[in-house]
Structure 1
Amino acid sequence: MPYKCRKINPWLLVLAVGFIALSGCAPKANEALEPVQLPPVPEGVFYIDPDIAMGKISPLVYGVNHGPWAIITEKILPLAQEAGITMIRFPGGNWGDENDLMPYHIDQFAMLAGQMGSQVSINVRLFNGTPEKAAALVRYANIEQGYDIKYWGIGNEPSLFATARGVPDYGVEQFNTEWRAIAEAMKAVDPSILLIGPELHQFGSDKSSTPKDPSGLDWMSEFLRVNADLVDVVSIHRYPFPQGSGGRAATIEELSTASTEWDLIIPYLRSLILEITGRNIPIAITEINSHWSNAMGGEATPDSFYNAIWWGDVLGRLIFNKVEIVNYFTLQSKASIGGYGLFARSDARPTYYVYQMYQKFGENLVFAGCDDAQIGIYAALDQQDGALTVMLINLGEDDITKPLVIEGKERTLVEVWRFDKDYLADKLDTRDFDNLEKILIPGQSVTLIKFK
């Protein structure tokens, strides 16, 4: 993997799969893996080769969660509209398995999504839910109201039902039966919908670190064996901290290395899907943040400045690993329930600005690499004019200066944007970057450089 700037396997397999457009066309799940030969990364430089195409970036990686408990006020709505959020999952978290979604919830949500220009996905109730209620929601949303909601999930983290919902024997076999009955009822109403599942909690990088049911069965493996014919996007959740019930919040040092786990988790999940189903089913991370708890006020808690630096690198890694949908948790949260939302009640938290930075990133990923463990580097070409955008994330405390080497034709630097403690996704003077032999990336920063 080239990111976080390590030595690269020159025959890394890259999934050649078409990504869904915002119009909601179906993900392609059966295209073959094609080997792409990647060059070694030169030492001591930020290296880009725009001629090595890594595939189109799914527009739905810039998503969030939202729910009826959260409020987008008139004051923060303009900021939300400027964030470039492409998909909203509703309702995020446990709410949907503890309450029945009502038509007015869908109406309010559809209005907000329309104001933000976002696609939507809706999760129907699984715990104490019924196929009839789920089908009724699809009928109301897509047949009666014409919202044409393409993406639907069923339940939330069923892998925790045995410990969190008072049903100690709840396992994957019961889940598979219930999930399938609801899925078939929903599809009977609108065969065009795309189903996301199984929405497992804390999925890891190998079979020893993935959820197991009370009988010891692997949740993901058994779900794929039974329901792969109905699921269109395979979904997992992941929060690296706290580690264990009641655990402490992460430090900056701990969070600075946590993003590397995605270079193991996604390849493992993709190989498992292929092994069991024989297909390359798209992957979604439908809940993700640095902490699953309501931690606030720490140096690396979700409301912190450093959480934004971590998230900038995580997004880059998920893009590189060709994830189809990413939903950050969440769009908004008031301080009394936790600092994990991009917005508090009346202002933006630091991680919001990462979305503003990635709005300027291109649509077609190209090869990038570096040999410095503190640097995340990602590059993409613009779909319209072919402009090259380079995202450089310094996870460490110290400034790093290196030459920026771009293979191929000569390009002109036209824009530089930065997020750090001094700049909130602000445009910088390009004259400070005239010398590509000495590009300085400040400690704990995200910098985007655009060339034409």
Structure 2
Amino acid sequence: MRLLLTLTLLTGLSTLTSSQAAMVKPGPAAPRPILPASVSAFNLGNWMPIVEALPELRALNSAGLRWPGGNIGDEQNRTPEALDTLKVNWTLLGGPPLMIQTRVFSRPGGNRDNVEAKNTPEDAADLVRMAQARGLNVACWEIGNEPNLYATKRGDPSWTPEKYCGVVRAQKAAILKVDPAARIAGPAVSNPGPFLDATILECGDAFDLVTWHLYPSNGDGTDTEAFDSISKVQDTLTRVEGLWADPATNPHGQGRMLAQGVTEYAQSYRSDRGTHLSDAVGGLWAAEAALRLSEGGALYNTYFSLMATGNHGLVDNGGFPHFSYAAFRELSHYRGETFDVTSDDPALWVHGAKDGGLITVFALNTAATSTPLTITVPGHALIGAKTITDADVNADKPPRPLAVSGPVNLPPLSLTRLVLKSSSPPSAELP
């Protein structure tokens, strides 16, 4: 017998008896508002042909954008022309709150096309002025990108956490002179470690939002190893919370509330390799990471990357969607307030949201076999279920409706969205 799964809303009900043998049940967490930018935000770059895939990208209902995505932020200056392009794409995508990187790094011995790097505090202030002049809605200014790699990957060993903190304080002061209400994010490290620790020790008080990136692998592991790495999401959130709370590791930031954001994440960092990135494993991992980051309290989390960034792009250079695109399109329905559910099957990841009279359950089946699912929510009726699989995405098919008259059969390696309606027979059509 494969998985038999019963989801029961216990409001006003007695505890389930053992004979009911529920595999999934409500968890202990109280409902709380879902922040859309915690689950539906993405890295944006001027190299992306947004207008060529506009209907697909608008369907994501982006609630936040980070620009410029990735390490190009430390390779190119912020010019008026670059800001003009940003405004066009940002407007096309609905004008959600932006996080904009300031430039920090410059290459020893010269920069691209021998153009002087604009990475001074006054350059950061000019960037704020340019954004203001264009009416951009900037929620936060992030100081640089992955400074922990400047010494090891970019050939400049002078970049220590102390040097980076000096830049942060100088750029922050210049930004606040232009916009006293500006919010500052950083250090945007790649996979938190000693550099993040030392930065919080040296200048934790300088950040309104502590940001980091999460890339557990290079796509070389097994599917099981890839899925197991999802534990790094909560492990890292908890680790940073511990650093922040301890006066010994955050001496300057005591009394300041911690806010975290993950401004790049994916299972693998290798844009040139599709394994565990553009396939079903990578898409399920990314969707689960977004949901766990949101539920874990991270406020502003931007998947890497929106489109046209090798296998990282939700949509590829030719305009064709990856599994990750289909997964995030379904997560555009993760709104309202959380509805806590738990599963005792480690291969089945479940999350819930309640919005008005609707309960939406997202069931991510990481098993290589089908899984029957029965949902029973007193006072609610199941009105529909739609699923996505790698085969459907590769065939350019929309989410596939599943029969709901009995147990809902979840396909292998699939993400299924199930919707239940309050006090209503199963007659409405799933949106």
- 1:245 aligns to what? none
**Is the 8 Å Cα contact of residues 332 and 344 (structure 1) preserved in structure 2?**
yes
What is the alpha-carbon distance in structure 2 between the residues aligned to residue 316 and residue 381 of structure 1? 14
Are 2:49 and 1:71 aligned? Answer: yes
* Equivalences for residues 302-381 of structure 1 within 5 A: 302-333=277-308, 338-345=310-317, 346-381=319-354
- Structure 2, unmatched stretches of 5+, are 6-15, 107-118, 422-431
- 1:33 aligns to what? none
What is the alpha-carbon distance in structure 2 between the residues aligned to residue 172 and residue 416 of structure 1? 49
**Aligned AA (1:182):** Q
**Aligned AA (2:231):** T
Are 2:81 and 1:98 aligned? Answer: no
- 2:102 aligns to what? 124
Report the CA distance shift for 1:442/1:148 in structure 2 as closer, same or farther (over 3 A): closer
- 2:187 aligns to what? 198
- Give the deviation of 1:190 after TM superposition: 0.5
- 2:13 aligns to what? none
**Is the 8 Å Cα contact of residues 332 and 342 (structure 1) preserved in structure 2?**
yes
What is the alpha-carbon distance in structure 1 between the residues aligned to residue 83 and residue 244 of structure 2? 32
What is the alpha-carbon distance in structure 1 between the residues aligned to residue 410 and residue 190 of structure 2? 35
For 1:113, which of 90, 98, 101 is the aligned residue? 90
Give % identity.
24
* Equivalences for residues 33-432 of structure 1 within 5 A: 44-48=22-26, 53-61=30-38, 62-72=40-50, 74-117=51-94, 118-128=96-106, 129-142=119-132, 144-203=133-192, 210=193, 212=194, 219-242=195-218, 249-275=220-246, 276=250, 277-298=254-275, 300=276, 302-333=277-308, 338-345=310-317, 346-382=319-355, 385-406=356-377, 409-421=378-390, 423-424=392-393, 426=399, 428=401, 432=403
Q: Could you say what secondary structure the match of 2:352 adopts?
A: strand
What's the RMSD between the two structures over aligned residues? 2.4
What is the alpha-carbon distance in structure 2 between the residues aligned to residue 148 and residue 111 of structure 1? 13
Q: Could you say what secondary structure the match of 1:417 adopts?
A: strand
**Aligned AA (1:348):** P
**Is the 8 Å Cα contact of residues 190 and 214 (structure 2) preserved in structure 1?**
yes
- Give the deviation of 1:411 after TM superposition: 0.6
Q: Could you say what secondary structure the match of 1:199 adopts?
A: strand
What is the alpha-carbon distance in structure 2 between the residues aligned to residue 40 and residue 156 of structure 1? 52
What is the alpha-carbon distance in structure 2 between the residues aligned to residue 121 and residue 107 of structure 1? 16
- 1:18 aligns to what? none
Q: Could you say what secondary structure the match of 1:264 adopts?
A: helix
**Aligned AA (1:238):** L
- Give the deviation of 1:116 after TM superposition: 0.9
- 2:428 aligns to what? none
**Is the 8 Å Cα contact of residues 47 and 405 (structure 1) preserved in structure 2?**
no
TM-score normalized by the length of structure 1: 0.79
- Give the deviation of 1:297 after TM superposition: 4.2
What is the alpha-carbon distance in structure 2 between the residues aligned to residue 89 and residue 388 of structure 1? 30
**Aligned AA (1:113):** W
TM-score normalized by the length of structure 2: 0.82
Deviations 1:269-298 (A, max 9, x none): 122222233443211110111221233343
**Aligned AA (1:187):** L
**Aligned AA (2:242):** S
- Give the deviation of 1:416 after TM superposition: 1.6
- Give the deviation of 1:396 after TM superposition: 1.2
Q: Which has the larger radius of gyration?
A: 2
Deviations 1:149-207 (A, max 9, x none): 2211111111111112222132111111111101110111011221111111112xxxx
What is the alpha-carbon distance in structure 2 between the residues aligned to residue 410 and residue 386 of structure 1? 10
- Structure 1, unmatched stretches of 5+, are 6-38, 204-209, 213-218, 243-247
Deviations 1:73-111 (A, max 9, x none): x33122111111211111111111122111121121122
> How many residue pairs align between the two structures?
381
